[in-house]
Structure 1
Amino acid sequence: MKLQISHETVYRYEQPIRNLVQSLRLTPSVFEGQKTHDWQIQVSGGVRGPGFRDGAGDWIEGWTVRGPVAEVTVRIEGRVDTRDLAGVLRGHREAIHPMSYLRDTAPTEPDAALQDLSRTAGTGARDPLDLAHRLSAAVSEAIAFRPGATEARTTAAEALALGEGVCQDHSHALISVARIAGLPARYVSGYLHSTRDGEAHDAAHAWAELHVEGLGWVGFDPANRCCPDERYVRLGSGLDAPDAAPIRGVAMGSSAERLDVAVHVQELTQ
């Protein structure tokens, strides 16, 4: 599938800030399931700094904006060719050992309910891959997809107790129950192009990857009850949502901030 992606993030400050430093994880991953063309990143008034590929295989680059400035726009445009690998992250080069992803973080810290869900879902699993599928299905059943039900700081335990959430909550919950079951798990940020009733629904998206012996990293999207396919574009990963954030930054100057995000993913004619 050929996908054209446009992603714009606008930061507006109540009072002009003196400086802004950002770390951007906005370049698609390099693996057999996707190939990137004409990828452009622009930051209004920004100066591009050095870039590097981290231990997880993600490309990260720094940008600096010198103020005073009251508005900063981060704009991404490009095309990605994708193909369905049944969720398997084949051909992705990274240096971090999978066992590092067994460590819990604040958003994924398990409580008794998550531990019970992990044990119940894993009962009778034939092998690690079957276990991973069972855990993902259990999270899908336990947490209904409902936009606006949670907020950015909602934890996996809180989303499970509420029984509702968004893709971030589904991903955190799956990561939590997978780690309880002994499967390394991590958070993935990216884009999703999907259709419903003939209409396009384009969005920034998130899912989880679980490390399965014999296969490596395999993606699972409990919010959509599937494994990532050609509709998905992978950007990067981390222990949780804050760790895998596509944009991280520090602004110098005390000012209230407003954030507006627009993402469009269009399928191009073959």
Structure 2
Amino acid sequence: MKLRISHETVYGYDQPIRNLVQSLRLTPSIFEGQKTHDWLIEIPDGIRGPGFRDGAGDWIEGWTLRGPADEATVRITGHVETRDTAGVLRGHREMIHPLAYLRDTRATAPDQALRKLARSVTTHDDALDLGHKLSATINEVIAFRPGVTQAQTTAAEALALGEGVCQDHAHALITLARLHDLPARYVSGYLHSTLDGQAHESAHAWAEIHVGNLGWVGFDAANGCCPDERYVRLGSGLDAIDAAPIRGVAMGSGAERLAVTVQVQEMAQ
């Protein structure tokens, strides 16, 4: 599948900022399931800094915007050619050992309810089957409902609510996997459409679980499937904060506003 992606993030400030420094994880991953073409990252009036590939295999680049400025825009355009690898992350080069992803964060720390839920999921088969069952369980206990959770909502809080968005599904699945001693991590990216064909006009997130000889396998608990050709992978981390596509610091005293627009369209073959 050939996908055209347009992603614009606009930061507005009620008082001009003096300076803005950002770290961007917005370049698609390199692996057998996707190939990137004419990818462009722009920050109008911004200064591109050095870039590097981190231990998880993600491309990170720095940008600086010198003020005074009352608005900052991060704009991404390009297209990616994808194919279905049944969720398996083949050909992805990274140096971090999978066991590093057994560490909990604030967002994925288990409470009593998550521990009980993890104990309720068992299998007589292998870790791959367990991963599928854990993902299906999260899909059942957390309904997809935008607007009920926030960026700071934890897996425990989402489970208590019984509702959330893809970030909450990913955090909860990561927690259950780690409780079963399976390394798990958060993945940020894009999704062309849901399984019912409905257009998906926002950034997306899912989890990857390390399942022995297969390595990392993606599980999208929000949609009850493994990533296929509709998905574009950007990067990973211990949780949403660690894997954030955009991280930065604005120097100023004013309040910040945020507006995000994402379009993922299939191109003519």
TM-score (ref. length: structure 1)? 0.98
- Runs of at least 5 residues in structure 1 that lack an aligned partner in the other structure: none
Q: Distance in 2 between matches of 1:197 and 1:183?
A: 30
Tell me which residue corresponds to 1:42.
42
Cα gap change, 1:198 to 1:222, in 2 (>3 Å): closer
**1:190: how far off?**
0.2
1:217 equivalent to 2:216? Answer yes
> Are residue 103 (structure 1) and residue 103 (structure 2) matched?
yes
**How much does 1:91 deviate?**
0.2
Aligned length: 269
Does the residue aligned with 1:108 lie in a helix, a strand or coil?
coil
Aligned equivalent of 1:11:
11
Percent of matched pairs sharing the same residue? 76
RMSD: 1.0
Deviation at 1:269, TM superposition (A): 0.9
Corresponding residue SS for 2:241 = coil
Counterpart position of 1:72: 72
Give the partner amino acid of 1:183: L
After TM superposition, the structure 1 = structure 2 runs for residues 126-165 of structure 1, keeping only pairs within 5 Å, are: 126-165=125-164
Structure 2 residue identity aligned to 1:68: P
Which SS does the other structure have where 1:107 is aligned?
A: coil
Q: Distance in 2 between matches of 1:196 and 1:102?
A: 30
Partner of 2:190: 191
**Counterpart of 2:229?**
230
Q: How far off its partner does 1:187 sit?
A: 0.2
**In the alignment, is residue 255 of structure 1 matched against residue 245 of structure 2?**
no
Q: Deviation at 1:119?
A: 1.2
Q: 1:198 and 1:51, CA in 2 relative to 1: closer, same or farther beyond 3 A?
A: closer
Counterpart AA for 1:66? R
- The runs of 4+ residues in structure 1 deviating greater than 4 Å are 195-199
Deviation of 1:196 (Å)? 7.2
Q: CA deviation at 1:104?
A: 0.2
Q: CA deviation at 1:125?
A: 3.6
- Structure with a larger share of its residues in strand: 1
User: In 2 relative to 1, CA 98–141 (structure 1 residues): closer, same or farther, beyond 3 Å?
Assistant: same
Partner Cα separation in structure 1 for residue 162 and residue 198 of structure 2: 28
Distance in 2 of aligned mates of 1:156 and 1:194: 25
- Within a 5 Å distance, the mapping from 1:48-87 to structure 2 comes to 48-87=48-87
* Aligned partners of 2:11 and 2:258 also within 8 Å: yes
- Indicate conservation of the 8 Å contact 2:107/2:152, yes or no: yes
Does the 8 A contact of 1:125 with 1:134 survive in 2? Answer: no
Asked if 1 retains the 8 angstrom alpha-carbon contact of 2:51 and 2:60, the reply is yes
Q: Residue 176 of structure 1 aligns to a residue in which SS?
A: helix
Question: Given residue 150 of structure 1, which amino acid in structure 2 is its aligned partner?
Answer: T
Residues 246-269 of structure 1 show CA distances to partners (whole Å, capped at 9, x for unaligned) of 000001111100000000000001
CA distance in 2, matches of 1:108, 1:144: 18
Contact in 1 for aligned 2:194/2:223 (Cα 8 Å): no
CA distance in 1: counterparts of 2:150 and 2:202, whole angstroms: 17
1:13–1:258 Cα contact (<8 Å) kept? yes
2:246 equivalent to 1:240: no
